[in-house]
Amino acid sequence: MKIGSVDLGEKPVLLAPMEDVTDPSFRYMCKHFGADMMYTEFINADGLIRDAGTSVSKLNIFDYERPIGIQLYGHIIESMVEAARIATEAYPDVIDINFGCPVKKIANRGAGSGMMRDVPKMVEMTRLIVEATHLPVTVKTRLGWDEQNKNIVEIAERLQDVGIKAITIHGRTRAQLYTGKADWTLIGEVRNNPRMHIPVIGNGDIDGPVKAREMFDRYGVDGIMIGRATFGRPWIFAEVKHYLKTGELMKPLSTRDKVNIARMHFERSIQVKGPKTGMLEMRRHFSSYFKGLPNFKEIKLKLLTTLDPNEVDTLLNLIVERYGDYVVDESINPSPWANSHD
């Protein structure tokens, strides 16, 4: 599968852009386990133009992350075009437009999935962004605004016609948010539309290697994107790719294995963000890495409250001592981050 000149190989597995999740330290872990392409957290176009610190910091990417895309969102065409020019100067491999975020404060002002209520504006914005950058432009979106307006087949054609190089489709409407099951039927319809010649990437409810292979086989998508199922499980990329290659499931990780991974993630977080911010931002990940361990409340509370890196190290050693080779059944311990923004 190619996005412009970016070659991702056959049946690539991509990391979804997620606010407050896909920061450099988490991307480091996902790349370590084989993510074929990753994206930054989504960036507010207005904030980027104003040189707001939070927005600008999200432009920071590393060569080992490549290929990587910078994702932008906004509802003002001129701002989005200018933001695309600024993002281009950060030298990503792809500029991605967020037409999929369903969060009320974003969608109700016409950004994210809110743009699906004004398709002509969506198309014009995309056309001008394509013209503003030499990089491949991609789009992430949904099936439509609600059950009565599932217009993704038309939208995909029109966006392709103005120059996007790939489209990722989340199999829910904006009205669904993250409830119910993702419907891949229309994703497959877009992929098998004879008018479409760009890659179509499917997203939504891929929770493991079996589901990943099913989506490839049943709907013929060119790639898949995984979001929420990566929380506390960045090794899901290795699991999926192993299963696609061999037809066999990887051996489940022990708690000892997960501690080693959490430690690697923690060290990278401190290195990238500094001790205080790195500690604070790891709390959500510690909860995810060790979900399902019995009688874990006391250790968990300490992990989520300490600001001492040395105490974290002591606690991780204690987890190995107590749980060692214990294996959590992932099938009955789904991600706790069910409402995050993939």
Task: Flag whether 336 is in a domain.
Answer: no
Phi and psi angles of residue 213, each rounded to the nearest 5 degrees, phi first: -65, -40
Does residue 203 sit within a domain? yes
- DSSP H/E element including 200: strand 200-203
Q: Kindly state whether residue 341 falls inside one of the protein's structural domains.
A: no
One domain for residues 192 and 273 = no
Distances (CA, A) of 172 to 143, 158, 259, 269: 6, 20, 34, 32
> Which residues have C-beta within 8 Å of that of residue 185, sequence separation ≥ 6?
none
CATH of the domain at 52: 3.20.20.70
| Domain assignment present for 338 | no
Same domain, 220 and 265: no
Query: How far from 208 is each of 117, 214, 241, 315, CA to CA, in Å?
Result: 33, 10, 10, 29
* Euclidean distance between CA atoms 236 and 291, whole angstroms: 15
The first and second tokens of residue 87, run together, are: 């993002």
Interior/surface letters 143-157, b for 16+ CB within 10 angstroms, e for the rest:
bbbeeeebebbebbe
Question: Of 196, 212, 246, which residue is a domain's last?
Answer: 246
Residue 106 resides in a domain: yes
**Which residue is associated with the tokens 């993702």?**
182
Answer whether residue 188 is part of any domain.
Answer: yes
Residues 85 and 46 both lie in one domain? yes
**How many domains are there within the chain?**
2
Q: Decide which of 199, 226, 246 is a domain's last residue.
A: 246
Residue 129 shares a structural domain with residue 28:
yes
- 21 lies in the same domain as 108: yes
Phi, psi of 71, rounded to the nearest 5 degrees: -105, 135
Tell me if 5 sits within 8 A of 134, measured CB to CB.
Answer: no
Domain final residue pick, 221, 246, 271? 246
* pTM for the whole structure: 0.92
Whether residues 186 and 141 fall in one domain = yes
Tokens (6 digits) for 323: 């749980």
Number of residues that this document lists for the chain: 342
- Give the structural domain span for 277: 255-323
pLDDT tens digits along 12-35: 999 999 988 899 999 999 999 999
> Do 89 and 197 reside in the same domain of the chain?
yes
User: Backbone phi, then psi, for 176, in 5-degree steps?
Assistant: -75, -20
Same structural domain for residues 239 and 264? no
Tell me if 77 is assigned to some domain.
yes
Triad 78, 81, 83: Cα angle to 5°? 105
* Active-site hit among 101, 107, 143, 156: 101
Considering the domain architecture, whether residues 220 and 280 belong to the same structural domain is answered as no
Q: Helix or strand or coil: residue 38?
A: strand
Reply yes or no on whether 101 is catalytic. yes
Regarding whether 139 and 288 lie in a shared domain, the answer is no
pLDDT in tens, the chain (342 residues): 999 999 999 999 999 999 888 999 999 999 999 999 999 999 999 999 998 888 998 999 999 999 999 999 999 999 999 999 999 999 999 999 999 988 889 998 999 999 999 999 999 999 999 999 999 999 999 999 888 889 999 999 999 999 999 999 999 999 888 888 899 999 999 999 999 999 999 999 999 999 999 999 999 999 999 999 999 999 999 999 999 999 999 999 999 999 999 999 999 999 998 998 999 989 889 989 999 999 999 999 999 999 899 999 999 999 999 999 999 876 654 444 444 445
Q: pLDDT for 199-250, tens place per residue?
A: 999 999 999 999 999 999 999 999 999 999 999 999 999 999 999 999 999 9
Inside any domain, residue 3: no
